[in-house]
Amino acid sequence: MSQIKQGHVEAGGVRYGYEIHGAGAPLLLLHGGFGTLEMFGPGLASLAARRQVIAVDLYGHGRTALTDRPIDPVAIGDDMATLVRALGFERVDVLGFSFGGMVAFRLAVQHPEVVDKLVLVSVPYAETGFYADIREQQKAVNREGAAMLMQTPLYEAYKAVAPRVEDFPEFVTRMGEAIRRPYDWSEDARGPEAHDPAGLRRQRHVRTGTHRALLSAARRGVARRGLGRRRHGAPSAGDPAGGHSLRDVRGSGPGRYGAGLPRRR
């Protein structure tokens, strides 16, 4: 078993906690909102069997403490480019889940020279990609709602690694502000070539599939850049009821919101 490298990298005034697992072609792994790098569970080890996995706790999450900055995927995208270079990598493949997918997308758009292949899991390119009931639920993500989240495994994971556990209510408050902030990245995802620096329009869209397909594609390094078009929370073959579960990224087989890939032509 290869040794796990751990540490922090400063980017944008934030000390980002990270771990590097495995050896091989580098893969930047970005977890979902309110999670930590442990969110990927056995999936991380599976990827690290063939790849050098750089797993990062996003700003405000887990090992990466809050500063006076708001939580903003655009700014965090810039930070990830700094982190990748600081760790000695010229280019990386990137896999992002949910909020981590938003960060991964911004990284590819803003710093295409750093990103080779991109896998986005369960992330819309505009706020209209969320169903109305999901947007309604987002209203409850605030300081008052922090007490409820403290009864969940998400808080247990945060508490296990956070440098300042007492920041959790403020963290929840800022995450609520972040997920309710209007955004529309459709021009970045589908715009004219002149406004498409990451080359996203030239690539086929990532489609929704299973966790096994996601891991298999990341291992092979054949992921296309692109954003899934289904609404966040919409039904799929793997999840006919719709939803946004972590089962798919915890390595328990086919489940909600894994990302399958188009076949090569």
pLDDT tens-digit profile of 36-48? 999 999 999 999 9
Say what the pLDDT of residue 234 is. Answer: 40
Cβ contacts of 39 within 8 Å, gap of 6 or more: 31, 32, 97, 157, 246, 249, 250
| CA gap 115, 222 in Å, rounded | 13
Burial of 166 (C-beta count, 10 Å sphere; 0-12/13-18/19+): exposed
Q: How far apart are CA 143 and CA 130, in angstroms?
A: 22
Contacts of 156 (CB under 8 A, 6+ apart): none
Q: Does position 22 have pLDDT exceeding 70, yes or no?
A: yes
Q: How many residues does this entry show for the chain?
A: 265
Q: What are phi and psi of 141, to 5 degrees?
A: -85, 90
Q: In this predicted model, which residue has the larger pLDDT, 71 or 229?
A: 71
Residue 200: predicted pLDDT: 52
Domain ranges of the chain: 5-128+183-260
pLDDT score of 3: 83
CATH number of 5-128+183-260: 3.40.50.1820
For residue 90 the two structure tokens come to 């010229």
Using alpha carbons, list the distances in angstroms from residue 27 to 41, 143, 193.
16, 34, 27
pLDDT of residue 77: 98
Structure confidence at residue 18 (pLDDT): 98
Instruction: Identify whether the C-beta of residue 32 lies closer than 8 Å to the C-beta of residue 120.
Output: no
> How does the average pLDDT of the chain come out, rounded?
79
23 pLDDT higher than 70: yes
245 pLDDT band (50/70/90 cuts)?
low
The pLDDT score that the predictor gives to residue 244 is 59
Q: How far out from the chain centre does Cα 129 lie?
A: 16
Point out which residues pair with 26 in neighbouring strands. 52
The residues pairing with 10 across neighbouring beta strands, listed in sequence order, are 15
pLDDT of residue 159: 97
- Tell me which amino acid residue 87 is: L
Each residue of 183-208: pLDDT tens digit?
999 999 874 454 455 555 444 333 33
Q: What whole-number percentage of the chain has pLDDT above 90?
A: 66
Q: How many CB atoms lie within 10 A of CB 153?
A: 10
pLDDT tens, position by position, 59-118: 999 999 999 999 999 999 999 999 999 999 999 999 999 999 999 999 999 999 999 999
Q: Are 255 and 47 in contact (CB under 8 A)?
A: no
Percent of the chain with pLDDT over 70: 71
The SS3 assignment for 79 reads helix
